[in-house]
Amino acid sequence: MQLGLVGLGKMGGNMAERVRRAGHEVIGYDRSPGARDVDSLQGLVDALEAPRVVWVMVPSGDPTRSTVRELGELLSPGDVVVDGGNSKFTDDKVHADELAEKGIGYVDAGVSGGVWGLQNGYALMVGGTAEDVAKVQPVFDALKPPAPHDEQGNEMPGVGFVHAGPVGAGHFAKMVHNGIEYAMMQAYGEGYELLAAVDLVEDVPGVIASWTQGTVIRSWLLDLLVKALQEDPGLDKITGYAEDSGEGRWTVEQAIEHAVPMPAISASLFARFASRQDDSPTMKAVAALRNQFGGHSVQSVDSRGNNPPVSEKPA
């Protein structure tokens, strides 16, 4: 089949290549010249045969919203737009309703796989009507990982792809996926820090690598931590500043709205906020309070950023 793909960045470009390798035609457009096949969204639509499927793979928020709205002015009834970015699930109903007025279908696709997806395939969580999902199914089949086989050699269906529900369900599922990812990364990071903090353990990268086989905490994320430590054993080349894409926040917001306790995911989100502070105002207040009520020592910061000890306040 034909696929129009908007956004040929790290993930979009690899997705286009994987779909092409599966024997489908991909016509790509990107704002930056280079790998794009056409020079405009209009040119992309003109190059596709009806009924068209156009996959949007651009940053979430305004870039996605404006792209979907522009496509709504260019496409025809019976066409389908797929949002494969990390949009908030509440945007999906807005897009679907706007496009439905023009007879255009809409599918939201949560995509996981990162820069490794070209080689390994992508996990896909999609939302939309059965009719619209069916129009895109050949592309989903091309993108998802190869199906594993059972002990008898039979292919196990459903792995790597799920039609999660109506419009919005795909991005909601991906949001929760990323919230879990936050907590897993935080746990691995805390374990690494404790190992590195003691003199008893002499080979921290080796310990973490030993966990990748035969243990209950093995995972692809753990494999990637091993790779990072092989490249930089002390992680000295990077700072401890960690951004959040927004999906961790949205997961916690939904947990609050639905009264679902999420202490691990919430803590991992707040830890990212803490990573951006050179000197935490919260911990300054904690130190000041300890000094006030218990006479515990505090440290002052001189103009060069050093921390000479300050004598204890009388108890």
As annotated, the active-site residues are 174, 181
Torsion 65-67-68-74 (CA) sign: positive
Helices (H), 75-219: 89-100, 117-120, 130-143, 169-197, 204-210
Which one-letter DSSP state was computed for residue 115?
G
Q: What tokens appear for 171 in the block?
A: 């991005």
Q: Which amino acid is at 69?
A: R
Q: What's the burial of 129, exposed, middle or buried (CB within 10 Å: 0-12/13-18/19+)?
A: middle
Q: Which amino acid is at 178?
A: N
- For the sheet with 123-127, list strands across it: 25-29, 2-6, 53-56, 80-83, 105-112, 123-127, 161-165
> Coil, strand or helix: which one is 311?
coil
Helices (H), the chain: 10-21, 41-47, 62-74, 89-100, 117-120, 130-143, 169-197, 204-210, 220-231, 247-257, 263-275, 281-294
Residue from 35, 86, 36 nearest 57 by CA: 86
Helices and strands: H and E segment counts in the chain: 12, 7
Residues 204, 207, 212, 218, Cα dihedral to 10°: -80
